[in-house]
Amino acid sequence: MSGRLVPVLQTGAFIVLALVLCSLIFLSVGLSATGTLSAIIDGAFFRPNALNHILRWGLPLLITAVGVIISFRAGYFNIGAQGQFYLGAICAAFAAEWLRGSPALVAVPICLLAGMAGGALWALWPALLRVKAGADEVITTMMGNFIAAQFLVHVTSGPLKDPAGSGQQASSRPIDAAWRISESTGSSPIIIAIAALVVVFGWWLVNRTSFGILSGLAGRNPVMVTWQGAKVQRIAISAFLLSGALAGLAGSVELMGPNGRLASGFLPDHGFTAILIALVAGMSVIAATLVALFFGALTSSGLWLPIMTGLPSAAIDIIHASIALFITAKAGALRGLLSWFRR
Amino acid sequence: MEDLIVAFLRSGTPLVYVALAGVIAQRAGIWHLGLEGMMITGACATIVGIVLTQSVMVGLLSGTIFCCLLALLFWFVVEVLKANQIIAGLGLSGLGLGGTALALTAIFGSEAAVSAPAGLPRLGPAFGAFGGLSVLVAAMPLVVFACWVLLCRTRFGLRLSACGEHAFAARATGVSPGLMRLIALLLGGPLCALGGAELAAGSLQIFSVNMTAGRGFMSFAAVIFGAGHPVGATLAAFFFAFVGALGIRAQLAYGDRIPSSLLLALPYVATVIGLWISARTRGGHATTSRELGQQ
Amino acid sequence: MKAEQHTEAGVTAPALAAEAVTVRYGEVTALSAVSTRFEPGRIHAVLGQNGAGKTTFARVAAGLVPPAEGAVTVFGRRLAGGDVAEARGAGVELVHQSFALPPSFTVAEVLQFVGPKAGLFTKRGIERHWQRWLDGLGLGLDARARIRDLPIEMQQSAEIARAMVSDARLLILDEPTAVLSPKGTERLFARVRELKAQGVTIMLVLHKIREVLAIADTVTVLRGGELVAGPVEAQDLTSETLAELIIGEAAARLDASDRAALVGAGAQHQPDQGRPDAPPAVVLKGISTASNTRGNGLSEVDLTVRCGEIVGIAGVEGNGQRELVAAIAGLEPLTAGEISLADQRMETASLAARREAGLRIIPFERNVEGLSLSSPLWENWGAAQLVGGSLLASVRPRNLQRSAEAAFQAWDVVFSNTAQPAGSLSGGNAQKVILSREMDPGAKLILAAQPTRGLDIGATMAVWKALRQARGEGAGILLVSSDLDELFDICDRVAVMVSGRVVAEFAPPWDLKAVGRAMTAAGQQPALEAVP
């Protein structure tokens, strides 16, 4: 038991360290650290209808995070969840446009599958560049995010533009109301079921298949797995495609569910937050479920803050960034530092 | 033609300054994905400094101070706490992007763009069509040369490279890699501040949230494309800028036929192609440790 | 520079004096209360098995490792410990076993980087300056050469040159002969004697008695981190007494030839002859590979290993041994030639298919190619079971853990549970994990690449026993080693590799001189043979 508890405590310690840094930043711009943090907690967990908001934001994040876990475990830093998420949404939107008028039972699954295909496609080229040419995937996937964001602008102001839309933000025509898998304010049994299915699939893949064991080994030492005769390239490409497909699925869920239409620049922090969830969960799919709901709560709080308290929503970005800064720190290093101070 | 060159120098110079910071860090063995955050911090602090004090010097100084603070934080996290450089770098970038947005709200009450009454000194009418460029554009070749001398023609540069390439070789001769990395990151502070200042105060005199739009990451890609060499990274940065300038040009000429948002994606596409080329020609795998605290 | 320095009492200060030096790495005590004194101007050998604490002792003296207790005094100057700059200031330089040279640097840059001048330089300027200095040293090094392009022996010369830049008065060489041919060792020893004549005190960390008796003035023996014998005059020692000192009470349990092989005492062993009529486990016919970054691929290697024999590959490191192992494994594509494994043609087969046919590998780099150190033991062990099948095949971790546990127990691996990371095991136990994975009854050809490097006596004996047992069960074994004593002890035949070619084959009785000649002199042969 204590073997399981230690990493949890370590993670907790580094999150506390991150919150200390956040507090310092809040103080330095003249915000009350405790006031801001407690407002964030309030917004996350104690606002009216909090559970629904947590699920609404947490579940799509969870779907993407499971994908991130699959690629990170295999040793590939697919930073491109955001771009794959966008491409998923875009492909689903195209599918929806194409299927206009068909029954929901046909259209919804096809749109979700189109989203997965779009996300996987957007992960495929960095995968090939990495595996065949050796181009580092951190930068290529990140550039993929920027390209996807521009593509989203193009799509929403061009091919899928809603002619009735008002000037402010370019967006596509709304999804047929009968196809929506949730209300715009919240979650629904369908989304919960999709997320649960993704978690079960992810857990099984990571813990109970040859792919899971070998990709975990390859993530820590690809050379060793090569010398064992495993097909590392195939593992790599599968990991990229799966993570892209899940991010794409999240994109199409957002489109068919709460968003209801494609808007340029929507949910710009989705991918980064999903990466954080994977890291805080220590690459465990089960832990990611809880962590995703926690970050879902933070996200919903970030939207609520400016409206209810006048605090800037950037406060949430700061919390996310600080956690990213500290979450991979080595506990041994912290211990060494403490003993150095004591000396 | 001249305006194309002006646009090209204007968009390339900030990338070059920031890429130089990345080169110095790379030589010392640090993958500096925090450049985006340092660049936007430099841009924000410069503009805010100018707005609050009317002095360009104070603006540049505050940019340098804030960038050095971020560098110090990054060093503490990756060197002392041994955090993963990639993730911590992304965190630092997030901190810069979020922090500048927070600072704007705290100081001016909203996240709206801030414009400064003064910008960096210009070259002046004596330079004809190039007179509108800031002095930092003119200073850039000198800074690149200085970096090259420092990295490739001094013992300090050799020690820095030894730390990045073979930390044990450095330790075995009494050089502390931790200390050298601190120096390298701190040297990057003023460079990122200048890059950010050139971006925000070089021609527009405006700061807006997220205005770097991935330029810091692009600078990092220039470091990789340029094989960690100051001149190589400079050329790579200008390649990305050239493609960007072409895009803007094409937008003016063919804006009605090619969607402008796709032209805006050109520099990012160029970056990917640059990485591909460098991986193919050098056998790739310029990767750093991917190990995470998995459970 | 004069090596002597006088204390107030007028007595010559020792070049190196250790007082009760203790070093701990975590919970492991690497050195416990070692006290010794080395007189200046002489050649001191520090001798011991792997894990005896020799390298740690050398690193304490050089300021790389701080002692937990005790202190080191160099030429009368007491070191605070753990500060390389301080030790260098006192005149100590350490030549590392795996050289501490950045591979992309030129020799001139390496020397400039450790040298005293901080200011600007020009490329031409430092090349000219250091070339002159190198010529004065007579090392035959080109200042413009890049480290990564130099052969191993020259890299060592560069490392020695690096150490001499700051006028070392105490030069420590850590296992300098491990990478050299017998001829190269002779050249190194000649250089060491020259340095001694110039007044430099030398400390040689070695593990071969033959070499120690050839060069050292005094001998100090470490065993299990403890000092067994202080500096003893070398002329008062015989190889038998030294062997007893090095191995200790375990000596009684070893047979004479293994004992001699372990400590490099140079005894001879007549192993059972192989079986010339047994079917071949592997046949290589004229295999060649493209030349790689290390400069040489294989060229036209012919080699047969029969079932039930151990064939050794001797040679200075970097002469194609790694390429040979990779080519047989299928990880290095062939440009020409044929490979048959257990009578099946395998040139284009994947490693998984070759493993299926009975190939097993104990790779060169235990901690990189052999194990994933941060992964649990059972995953490291189980990978072999999973690579052949589908990626979506279902796995029951509990079953794999149980099988791994049984295998580890059969191989006497000391472990607490199969979920602990492989990196938490000692080198010997880690190697046993690899043996337990690779040495199954299905093994037809075992590639054993430096399988005992860095292992202590117990683990070395376990590896040898395993290889002999596999031979007894009818597997063919290809043993790559840079330790001729090891090869002579357990091989039935030895082939010598130079520049990616097999240049000679030897059978018992072994002739050390002839094998040594083949390892070096044959370097010119390829050029002669190239003439049609």
Structure-token pair, residue C133: 């200095």
| Contact (Cβ atoms closer than 8 angstroms) between residue A272 and residue B97 | no
pLDDT at A36: 85
Q: Would you state the CATH architecture of domain C1-91+170-233?
A: 3-Layer(aba) Sandwich (3.40)
User: Which of the two residues, B293 and B218, has the higher pLDDT score?
Assistant: B218
Q: How far is B89 from chain C (nearest CA, A)?
A: 23
Which residues in chain B are contacts of A222 at CB distance < 8 A? none
Cβ-defined contact of B172 to C120 (cutoff 8 Å) = no
Instruction: Tell me what percent of the residues of chain A surpass a pLDDT of 70.
Output: 96
Q: Is B60 on the interface with A (CB under 8 A)?
A: no
**Residue C270: pLDDT band with limits 50, 70, 90:** low
Q: How far is B60 from chain C (nearest CA, A)?
A: 29
Neighbouring chains of A at 3+ CB pairs under 8 Å are B, C
Three state DSSP letters for C174-232 = ECHHHHCCHHHHHHHHHHHHHHHHCCCEEEEEECCHHHHHHHCCEEEEEECCEEEEEEE
Structure-token pair, residue A333: 């290093």
CA–CA gap between residue B186 and residue A234 (Å, rounded)? 42
Strands C310-314 and C226-233: unpaired
Taking the domain C280-358+442-529, which CATH number applies? 3.40.50.300
Structure-token pair, residue C526: 């390829």
Same fold yes or no, C1-91+170-233 and C280-358+442-529: yes
Largest CA distance in chain A: 74
With CA atoms as reference, the chain A residue closest to C390 would be A210
Task: State mean pLDDT over B254-270.
Answer: 82
Over 90: is that where the pLDDT of A272 sits?
yes
**Residue C343: pLDDT band with limits 50, 70, 90:** confident
Residues of C contacting chain B (CB within 8 angstroms) = 62-64, 83-88, 94, 96, 100-105, 109, 112-115, 117-123, 162, 374
Q: How far is C526 from chain B (nearest CA, A)?
A: 30
Could you tell me if residue A278 is inside a domain? yes
Could you tell me if residue A284 is inside a domain? yes
Question: Terminus-to-terminus CA distance in chain A, angstroms?
Answer: 32
pLDDT at B127: 83
Question: Tens digit of pLDDT for each residue in B167-224?
Answer: 898 988 889 999 999 999 999 999 999 999 999 998 888 999 999 999 999 999 999 8
Question: Which range of residues forms the domain containing residue A94?
Answer: 11-24+33-336
Set out the domains of chain B in order of their start, with CATH numbers: 2-113+132-282 (1.10.3470)
Cβ-defined contact of C368 to A224 (cutoff 8 Å) = yes
Q: What is the number of helices (H) and of strands (E) in chain A?
A: 14, 0
Over 50: is that where the pLDDT of B229 sits?
yes
Could you tell me if residue A102 is inside a domain? yes
pLDDT at C289: 92
Out of A31, A136, A146, name the one closest to residue B275 (CB): A136
Q: Is B154 helix (H, G, I), strand (E, B) or coil?
A: strand
Is C354 buried (19+), middle (13-18) or exposed (0-12) by CB count in 10 A?
Answer: buried
Q: Is B295 on the interface with A (CB under 8 A)?
A: yes
Write down the domain spans for chain C: 1-91+170-233, 100-166, 280-358+442-529
pLDDT at C523: 45
Which residues in chain A are contacts of B33 at CB distance < 8 A? 138
Q: What is the pTM of this model?
A: 0.91
Over 70: is that where the pLDDT of C4 sits?
no
User: Which of the two residues, B205 and A65, has the higher pLDDT score?
Assistant: A65
Best residue in C364, C394, C395, C398 to probe A by mutation, most A CBs within 10 Å?
A: C395
**Residue C61: pLDDT band with limits 50, 70, 90:** very high
Cα A126 to Cα A154, A175, A221, B214, C255: the distances in Å are 22, 31, 21, 18, 58
Could you tell me if residue A343 is inside a domain? no
Could you tell me if residue A341 is inside a domain? no
Helices (H), chain B: 2-27, 35-53, 56-75, 85-108, 135-152, 155-165, 167-172, 177-201, 215-225, 230-254, 260-264, 266-282
Q: How far is A333 from chain B (nearest CA, A)?
A: 5
User: For chain A, how many structural domains are there in total?
Assistant: 1
Over 50: is that where the pLDDT of A207 sits?
yes
